[in-house]
Chains A and B, each alone.
Chain A
């Protein structure tokens, strides 16, 4: 089997180090120095676990702190290891996100798995291959340079009978090597496994129901917990009466300070008992709502960070004959993974094991240990498959709840949020504001760019247009690192916010590429031509031209309420251009996106079909934040509990999606999970302008807003 190893076959760290005696292992020592210098955040493994092990049976086990949430890194990481080792993909077993077994990892987010962890994993596999070649040279009595490797068999070039398998070489060996950061990686021309699109290794489990998610882990004696929840964020708990719940048979009530829960062996019985708990809450009335939030953000997010400054912004602004000044808005958006946050905690032999749907198993382990007031060595987090994450499972409140309750009752406990809890405790993509002032020179080139973003951070705001006078400022930090000013009180937002697929970048690129489009229209220049005239960035020019060619830009205009829009951006090291074609219902204001062409340069491509899947996923999921998704709220009260009120994109919204991979083998593999979602807002808004002459400055582009714009 090549998919996730069954956790019950696991072993602890001590056993693991002992196990190194049974084969060849490549251990961690820091990360490649060059990459360390590029990114100073603590992103690389620093502990003593192994990247991979070759067993005496010839099977290769790869250990990675990254997790599989649908993005396909189970398969792509196996491909990278198989490529560098010279083995078949089928001989690889993956262990992901197990804090006892895997190298320390910060978390799976930011499209970092391939571009940041990938080089370490490939170097480890290349090191193992070098060790095996040395052993084979001795065994076969031939110089290393005369050896070839295929599917885990080393043979002498021109003499295929003189051969030895990796399994034979690993037999009885006790070799543990540290990663050699100078290991020579295989080139694109040599690739046998990378650059190909094998069927996903998690496929068979996922189509047969055998794939296990956190809620499918059921240790003996498991109790299902339902937790008492406040009616609004900021509410404080007064009197609690649990007597009626306690009278129900089989119910255990647990109260740990702020955490009140009812537990039962049947999840429905736990839910019924929770309904019997009477609680008084004190709520703080908050005046914030989806309409006044923007003024609040502008006023409250006073701490500014200047991200870019060039030329003379003030003088150019004063001298501009025509200034384009715009303000862009976006509401709060939910992650809504199909699997709500779930965790199962089992206390046993002085340790606690937690199976959690989490994107950050190692930081979560530390948080659980802190909550339990125990050493981190006493906690093990195991990450089964995730039913979607999108950034929302960076927060692991449910796992901490499960661990606290399990320790309190001395028995395994599951905490699986209901859909209502999932909406309530989601770390939303924040509402945000962008204000931009720009100007053109006499030749139709952009002369001025004065840009300020509030509450979204500056991801996606970096300039790739050639603008001599520019300033980019970010106010209030990001969704996940809020830096409010002194007047804002404890928080910018009435509830938690956090990273959401390409955090900040969707808002910034919506604003940037809408603004570029309105200047193109004012200059009377085709939007594609305008972009090409204003950027000398070759990678950007190539993806723009590739998208335009595939689309047939601009093509004949098909009707009065049909339009096409273009937008582009850079995210996670990847360049992407989108062209959207839409039809607008003039009566209802509804936008139907009919066709999207996405062209992407992501450097060397590890798995082309996997990359296309992510691009399609970005476009399809992106239809939600662009057209329909906005969280209604009143103060700290989240006014959505289910999918009846909050509308995810469905099959009827699906456009024809065409993906173009722009080959660029000169650049190391870059991110794939997020870039294509980034320009969709502007592409559709620009298409709306093309169709109707009306421009909307606020996401989502709901039918009501389109209708109002058409009537104005």
Chain B
């Protein structure tokens, strides 16, 4: 059923008039033109469609739009603010933590949310958190390198009291 839905999308108030049982992935990609979140499996297994709702990673291919009602949704397009890349994005660039790039938005958002809650994780903890994000190219080693590097930046920022 069509209804009116308000949410904050990448920092901006957004309203939609649509069926709120539609999956968030397709609303983002078709209605809102944000194609950074990818379809990979449609079953919430691979993580290519990951976006953040109130800072928590969700699989948007199995998440209804209603779950985003009155919440803050962050997609890969909204992670960089004011032209400055997020430390995780910077570190992915530095280490080459991607090859084809298709799983990358989901990897980056999952890692960014994880570091927000766990500023100084071990490499094993990072690997465990990313276990359910699939990458077929085999960029895993560099993804871990990147998230480790980013954790140093975010820890330093946390200690300095800066965001």
CB <8 Å contact, A419 and B41: yes
Partner of B108, one of A207, A388, A651: A207
Q: Does A385 contact B (CB under 8 A)?
A: yes
Which residue of B22, B96, B102, B135 contacts A613 across the interface (Cβ within 8 Å)? Answer: B96
List the B side residues contacting A216 at CB < 8 Å.
29, 35
Tell me the bound Cα distance from A268 to B142 in angstroms. Answer: 35
| Cα of A416 to Cα of B137 in the assembled complex, Å | 20
B137's partner among A212, A340, A617, A654 (CB-CB below 8 A) is A617
Which residues of B lie under 8 Å from residue A337 when comparing CB positions?
100, 102, 136
Instruction: Please encode chain B, from 127 to 156, with 1 for each CB lying within 8 Å of some chain A CB and 0 for all others.
Output: 110111011111111101000000000000
Q: B76 at the A/B interface (Cβ < 8 Å)? A: yes
* Residue numbers in B under 8 Å from A268 (CB-CB): 22-23, 26
Query: Once bound together, how far apart are the Cα atoms of A339 and B105, in whole Å?
Result: 13
The reply to whether the CB of B67 lies closer than 8 angstroms to some CB of chain A is no
With contacts A212-B35, A267-B30, A651-B131 taken as known, whether A338 is within 8 angstroms of B43 at the C-beta atoms is no
Interface residues of A in 315-356 (CB under 8 A from B): 336-340
Cα A388 to Cα B89 in complex, Å, equals: 20
- List chain B residues, Cβ under 8 A from A212: 35
Which stretch from A68-76, A153-161, A254-262, A424-432 is at the chain B interface? A68-76
* Complex interface bits, A665-699 against B, C-beta within 8 A gives 1, otherwise 0: 00000000000000000000000000000000000
Nearest-neighbour CB distance to chain B for A111, whole angstroms, equals 15
The docked-state distance in angstroms from the alpha carbon of A85 to that of B25 is 44
- Is A388 a contact partner of B100 (Cβ separation < 8 A)? yes
Q: Which of A92-100, A129-137, A461-469, A642-650 contacts B (4 or more CB under 8 A)?
A: A642-650
Are A654's CB and B140's CB within 8 A? yes
Decide if A388 touches B93 in the complex (CB within 8 Å): no
When C-beta atoms are compared, the residue in chain B nearest to A342 turns out to be: B39
> Is A305 in contact with chain B by the CB < 8 A criterion?
no
Partner of B131, one of A215, A267, A618, A652: A652
Residues of B contacting A416 in the complex (Cβ-Cβ under 8 angstroms): 39
CB of A616 within 8 A of chain B? yes
Asked if B137 and A621 sit within 8 Å, CB to CB, the answer is: yes
CB-CB under 8 A for A387 and B76, given A617-B137, A619-B138, A648-B136: no
Shortest Cβ gap from B80 to chain A (Å): 6
Indicate if the CB atoms of A209 and B105 lie closer than 8 Å: yes
Most buried by B among A72, A338, A616, A617: A338
Instruction: Return the chain B residue nearest A212 by Cβ.
Output: B35
B11-49 residues at the A interface, CB under 8 angstroms:
22-23, 26, 29-30, 33-43, 45-46, 48
5 contacts between A and B (CB under 8 A): A72-B99, A208-B80, A210-B77, A338-B103, A617-B139
Beyond contacts A340-B40, A621-B137, A651-B127: 7 other A-B pairs, Cβ-Cβ < 8 A, are A207-B108, A339-B38, A339-B40, A340-B39, A387-B101, A388-B99, A644-B45
Binding site for B on A (CB under 8 A): 69-72, 199-200, 202-213, 215-216, 218, 265-268, 336-340, 385-390, 416, 418-419, 609, 613, 616-622, 642-644, 648-652, 654, 657
The 7 closest A-B pairs by CB, nearest first: A209-B36, A387-B102, A620-B138, A70-B100, A206-B101, A70-B99, A209-B76
